[in-house]
Structure formats: C-alpha cells, structure tokens
Amino acid sequence: MKKSLRVKSALGAVLVSIALVFSGCGGGQIARTDTLIVGVPAMHTNLDPILQNNIASMRIIYHVYDTLVYMDFDMTPQPNLATSWEWVNPESPDQLRVFLRQGVLFHNGDPLTAGDVAFSLMRASQSPTIAAVAGMIQSVDIVSDSEILINLDFPFVPFISFLGHQGMSIVSERAVTEMGQDAHSQAPIGTGPFRLTNIVAGDRVELTRWDQYWGEPALVENLVIRLLADTATRLIALETGEIDIMLTVPANDLSVVQGHPDLTLHSASTVATTYIAFNTSRPPFNDVRVRHAMQYAVDTEALVQAVFMGGQPQATGPINSMVWASAADRLDPFPFNPARARELLAEAGYSDGFSVVFFVSQGAATGLDTAEIMQNMLRDVGIDMSVQVLEWGAFLEASNRGEPNLVTLAWVPTTGDPDQGLFGPFHSTSSGVGNHAHFNNPQVDALLEAGRLETDPVLRAEIYYQLQRVIRDEAPWIFLAQGMEHTGVRNNVQGFTTAPSTIHRFWGVSLN
C-alpha cells in the first residue's frame, strides 16, 4: 500500500511540473531545460502496438516501448531487447533464435521475461491491423529465461528487420491481462526510455523519463507531444518558443524557418512515398481505363513542383530509391495528356464525366494544396471533385471502410524492405488496413507472395522489379513525391537527427 502511495505521489509531482510548463504557454520564449515539447500535425489513434499502423501513433509508441531490434539511420537492424540472433538454418530462414537482454524492467517495476516476449509476438501475429508485418509468426518457443525460438510459416529473409516495427513492441503480459486491452491502450506499460503520465485528448501526450531504463537515459525529464494540426499555428508556436520542435514544415514555410535567427531547418530524405489512392473497389475507379484517365489528366510534375516547391523529388513508383529493390529509376511516369484522358473516359462510358470526393486529413497542408490544384486539372476533362477534410483518426477509419473515392497519404516502409513497402498497400488481404486503394489483383497478390518466399536476393529483387511495373500499369495510385522530412528546431535544442523512417528518437535530444 505504501508503495502505491509513493507511485501516485511521484506521478502527481510530474503532472504538476508539466502543468506549470503549459501555464506559461501563450507568449514569448519559455526558459526551460527539463521538458521537450514537440508540435505534431496529427495525434495517435491507439497506443497499443498491435492496434495501430500509422506514423503518428508509432512516434509515441517508440518512446514508451522497446522492440527486439531497432533500425539505425542506415536502416540496418541493431540489438535492442535482443542482444543477438541467428537463423537455425540460414539456407531456410524460418526459425530464428533470439537471445534476450537481462535486467530490463517494465514501467510497473516487473522484470522483462521471455514469457512477455513470446506473449507480445504471438499477440502481434494474431492482429489484423499489423498482419502484413507479424502474420507470418507461427509460434514462439521459450528455450530459457534468456532465449526464445521464433518459428515462421515460411522462410522469410527480412524478418529480423520486421522485429523493429513498432507493431512488434514488447508489452507486459501481466499488465495487458490484468488491465484488459482497452485500458492498457490508454495507460500503456512498456520498457522504453519514457513512461506515459498523462493524455489530454485532442491536445497532448505527456511522457516522463523512466529512470530505470536499461539503455542510455533520456536527456530531458519530460517529453510532450502536442497536437497543433494547423500549420500556421504550429509555426507560430515554434517561433515563440511554445514548442521546441515542429514536425512536418510545409514547403511554403521552409524559407520562414531558414530565415529565423532562433530556428534551424533540418531536411533529410526518408523512405516515405506520398501518393493519391483510388478506391478501386467500386465505380468509377474499378475500371483501369478511368484510373489511367486520371493519371493523364493530372500534370503530376507540375503538381509536385507547386505543392512541394522543389523540396521533394517526384515519385515514379510505389517505393522510393531509399528502399532496397526499388524500381524508381526503371519506371516512367504517366505523361500529362488531357486529350488522352478524355478518350479513355469516353471508352469507359464517362464521356460526360463524373463527380468524386477527395478525403484529406486535417493538418495535411500538402493534401489540401494537392486537392486544390487537382480540382482545376480534373475539371478540364469533365471530372467534378469535391474535398472533405477530416480529423486524422476519423480520416483513417473512413478510408479503411472505403468511403472516399480518393485519399492522399504517405506510406512509410519503416523496415526498409520492399515487402513492407508493397504488401500492406497492395495485397488484397490488407484491404481496410494498409491497402487504402482497396486493390485486389491476383497477379499482384501472386508476386507479393512469391517475393516473400524467395530467399535468393537477386531473384527476390527481380520479383519486386516486376511487381512495381505491374502496379504502375494497373495504377491504383498516383505517385506524388519521394519522402523528404522538413523539421523546424529551435537553436537551443541539441542532438536532433532526422530518422529516415520519420520516427524520430527524442530521448537523445536535450535543451541548452
């Protein structure tokens, strides 16, 4: 009982500390060195690792939980909760022996066990939300307190990298079982460098340094992820010092950050691809002729130049050149040809055009700019496009249900492997999860499955080259831009580095 009171007292002190920080927000630079505040355009949808598959959620999950491996800045898996690993038979990689770090504590004080790891991985394997990254796990054998054996349904070469996906984060079996899944998603118990202390719905998530973290401790006591969906508001907050880091600086504000004496702009390429997805499950976009007509009707080069103002290169395929086996330099974009677009629409029975709804997430400034430019281009070929803006969580739910005709998103293969870059967005079994085009193509499914089963890297790469050509020709997406992350950082912030996955590591950041 006394222990419980001490925990509550400490938590109360933390919340008072963070509350004092926010009571000062609203004007002028804030002098503080213990609380790092990050302004984001979208907030998490769920903090249970297996119930989300979006970057906004992963950025928080990354700081609360640990995975067995983590992906470094070269997209190479490194030891994390796993100290080492080895394939039982490297010629047929379907059994992975993993050796676990000892002396790790969960935020509730429980020691990490091999049972927690096995529980977490099996739980992930049964989640429809992250089936594309964890569904191949058949079973997990506990060999000892420090060793497990992961058995896969088939030999899968990139699986070690997949263990670094946030959906594979390790949870406390006792916490999940006793609290229940819903309660645990609101008050998660992990082993990460920060523990969650407070959620203010629609405003911020407050995290506090876990002083018994097994690794390098966080350099700030508190980390606050603050929702500022409006770009202008987020930029003003950065300029005045209400936030220390602004994620996703849009192209038209880059010069503002660059010219500000108190700010530094960090820009770096990422593994992301920004795209527009057609809902291919129903008319009019279930007809490939209509999808091709849309490709010809949109001057993608001009659109990307206008929206990203030269800050991001145009994408030519579904995965960009930072992802292994990308065919970005082998694919040609559709040329701008409104006359050809009209011909194809007439062939498909739409000589008088049609009306569509384009869904955009609130806070996605580039999405709104894209929609406005597209409206004018499509009007020229008889297509009337209206725009609907939704809050991030509602936007994802609507897209997963297949409500919109068109959506714009970015796909980020955080493992750096083409399987994650292509299986989730295009395999028919991922419809309603990562497959926002609701695309169902037997040839694409077959190639995706063949890529998973092939162990020879040369042959595997050829499968993915062919696959990307088929996807380009079937056109479930308009490829917009290759990933480029622009982050505004105040000059008193030290140690920030852009992650190619866009899931940035804030526990190595300090305030001067």
The per-residue DSSP string of 144-156 comes to: ETTEEEEEESS--
- For residues 231 and 225, what is the distance between their CA atoms, to the nearest angstrom? 15
Residue with tokens 């490709």: 295
**Smallest Cα–Cα separation from 191: which of 221, 177, 160, 212?**
212
**Smallest Cα–Cα separation from 409: which of 297, 251, 250, 273?**
273
pLDDT for 363 = 81
In terms of pLDDT, which residue wins out, 29 or 170? Answer: 170
Summarised one tens digit per residue, pLDDT across range 49-64 is 999 999 999 999 999 9
In terms of pLDDT, which residue wins out, 283 or 28? Answer: 283
- For residues 36 and 490, what is the distance between their CA atoms, to the nearest angstrom? 11
Using the predicted structure, report yes or no on whether residue 457 has a pLDDT greater than 80: yes
Using the predicted structure, report yes or no on whether residue 494 has a pLDDT greater than 50: yes
Using the predicted structure, report yes or no on whether residue 12 has a pLDDT greater than 80: no
- In this structure, are residues 475 and 225 in contact, taking their beta carbons and an 8 Å threshold? no
- For residues 37 and 243, what is the distance between their CA atoms, to the nearest angstrom? 5
pLDDT for 25 = 44
Summarised one tens digit per residue, pLDDT across range 171-206 is 999 999 999 999 999 999 999 999 999 999 999 999
Residue with tokens 């992250």: 130
Numbered ranges of CATH 3.10.105.10 in the chain: 271-483
Summarised one tens digit per residue, pLDDT across range 252-296 is 999 999 999 999 999 999 999 999 999 999 999 999 999 999 999
Amino acid making up residue 11: L
pLDDT for 311 = 83
pLDDT band for position 33 (50/70/90)? confident
pLDDT for 28 = 41
Residue 319 has φ and ψ, to the nearest 5°, of -125, 140
Mean pLDDT of the chain: 93
- For residues 428 and 113, what is the distance between their CA atoms, to the nearest angstrom? 36
Using the predicted structure, report yes or no on whether residue 1 has a pLDDT greater than 50: no
Using the predicted structure, report yes or no on whether residue 5 has a pLDDT greater than 50: no
Please give the CATH topology (third level) of the domain spanning 271-483: Dipeptide-binding Protein; domain 3 (3.10.105)
DSSP for 175-202, written as a single string: HHHHH-HHHHHHS----SSEEEEEEETT
pLDDT for 31 = 56
Which pair of tokens denotes residue 381? 């070929």
- In this structure, are residues 117 and 170 in contact, taking their beta carbons and an 8 Å threshold? yes
Element housing 10 (H / E):
helix 2-23
- For residues 249 and 24, what is the distance between their CA atoms, to the nearest angstrom? 24
**Smallest Cα–Cα separation from 420: which of 71, 63, 65?**
71
Residues with Cβ within 8 Å of residue 352, at least 6 apart in sequence: 382
Q: What percent of the chain has pLDDT over 90?
A: 92
Using the predicted structure, report yes or no on whether residue 365 has a pLDDT greater than 90: no
Strand partners for 276: 408, 478
Using the predicted structure, report yes or no on whether residue 26 has a pLDDT greater than 90: no
What's the pTM?
0.92
Average pLDDT score over residue span 233-258:
97
- For residues 484 and 502, what is the distance between their CA atoms, to the nearest angstrom? 9
Summarised one tens digit per residue, pLDDT across range 313-354 is 999 999 999 999 999 999 999 999 999 999 999 999 999 999
Average pLDDT score over residue span 407-413:
97
Which pair of tokens denotes residue 317? 């395929």
Which pair of tokens denotes residue 165? 């996906």
> CATH homologous superfamily of domain 30-244+492-511?
Periplasmic binding protein-like II (3.40.190.10)
Instruction: Give the 3-state DSSP-derived string for 464-480, with helices as H, strands as E and coil as C.
Output: HHHHHHHHHHHCCEEEE
Summarised one tens digit per residue, pLDDT across range 95-151 is 999 999 999 999 999 999 999 999 999 999 999 999 999 999 999 999 999 999 999
Strand partners for 494: 510
Using the predicted structure, report yes or no on whether residue 9 has a pLDDT greater than 50: no
In 3-state terms the chain splits into helix, strand, coil percentages (rounded to 5) of 35, 25, 40
As to burial, measured by CB atoms within 10 angstroms (0-12 exposed, 13-18 middle, 19+ buried), residue 413 is buried
Using the predicted structure, report yes or no on whether residue 10 has a pLDDT greater than 60: no
- For residues 498 and 484, what is the distance between their CA atoms, to the nearest angstrom? 10
pLDDT for 15 = 45
pLDDT for 230 = 94
Using the predicted structure, report yes or no on whether residue 222 has a pLDDT greater than 60: yes
**Smallest Cα–Cα separation from 356: which of 478, 483, 482?**
478
HSE-CB for 168 with a 13 A CA cutoff: 25
Average pLDDT score over residue span 296-323:
95
Alpha helices in 365-408, H assignment, sequence order: 365-379, 392-401
Numbered ranges of CATH 3.40.190.10 in the chain: 30-244+492-511
How far from 89 is each of 83, 136, 139, 155, CA to CA, in Å? 19, 17, 17, 10
